[in-house]
Amino acid sequence: MSLENIACNKSFGGWHKRYRHRSATLGCDMVFAIYLPPQAESGRKLPVLYWLSGLTCTDENFMQKAGAQRLAAELGLIIVAPDTSPRGAEVPGDPDGAWDFGHGAGFYLNATEAPWSRHYRMHDYVVQELPALIEANFPASDARGISGHSMGGHGALVAALRTPGRYRSVSAFAPICHPVQCPWGEKAFSRYLGEDRSKWAEWDASLLIANAPERLPLLIDQGDRDSFLDTQLMPESLRGAAAPAGHALELRMQAGYDHSYYFIASFIEDHLRHHAQALKAD
């Protein structure tokens, strides 16, 4: 599979790069960003943190706003940030041009309903195709962590809960914790997955956690002044499901913080260290 390098910037002794490639899973061209810390030049394979961004975002938001490169360079941690959905003229978006569905809003699931099922298979892309591509073309090991924000936080939690053994660590910022019960999730799931709500449970962290075959500790930060907290994010639903399941969850309510990248940048160091500790356990 060919990779087209479309951007390259030196950062904290390492390199931030962007690539375009043809995705067999999504049936379109995709762009991803990768930060290669200085240690990558040694040829030694390094652990990888996959970051999933939220609604309306691309691969650029996290890399430009989170301030993660300095610590990633110190920790010897590769960071990979895919786009949030398939894109292109051949990929259907929201017919009304809405921002919370279609392009930029793939919800990291595998769609089953036409016309979305042809392209919207972001779960398989993030969990299978992209790591295989990264590990074949960069000095990346199979020690993987996953994190994300909002819709991407939902994607990170679901990916870890659905695929035991795939990741060594997981965390999230302001994730959509119970999408089957929130407006964003109901809109997306009804279109991507159809009206049978029993099928939605496969993509809801609050419902998956009870029977998760692996118990990776969950680190979640949530701002208490997030305007989406009560109507869309619902972290208490995840807390309520994790406790009886005996699933370790550290849910940190951060006073005064909202949903923005100011919030993410304030606590990204804690998350990177959380992942590095697990990824370098060997």
227: pLDDT strictly greater than 80: yes
| pLDDT at res. 1 | 62
Q: What is the mean pLDDT of residues 133-149?
A: 98
Residue 94 falls in the annotated catalytic set: no
Residue 221 falls in the annotated catalytic set: no
| pLDDT at res. 280 | 86
Kindly name the residue from 150, 206, 237, 266 that is annotated as catalytic: 150
| pLDDT at res. 43 | 87
Q: What is the mean pLDDT of residues 173-192?
A: 98
- Starting from the edge strand earliest in sequence, which strands make up the sheet with 218-223, in order? 4-11, 14-23, 28-36, 78-82, 46-52, 140-148, 169-173, 218-223, 249-254
- pLDDT, mean over the chain: 97
Q: What is the mean pLDDT of residues 265-272?
A: 98
Task: Please state whether the predicted TM-score (pTM) of the whole model is above 0.95.
Answer: yes
d(CA 208, CA 210): 6
Q: What is the mean pLDDT of residues 129-146?
A: 98
20: pLDDT strictly greater than 70: yes
Classify each residue of 38-63 as buried b or exposed e, where b means 16 or more C-beta atoms within 10 Å of its C-beta.
bbbeeeeebbbbbbbbbbebbbebbb
Kindly name the residue from 123, 221, 226, 271 that is annotated as catalytic: 226
d(CA 278, CA 94): 39
Question: How many percent of the chain have pLDDT more than 70?
Answer: 99
Q: What is the mean pLDDT of residues 237-255?
A: 98
Kindly name the residue from 259, 271, 274, 275 that is annotated as catalytic: 259
Say which DSSP state 216 is in.
Answer: P
Residue 230 falls in the annotated catalytic set: no
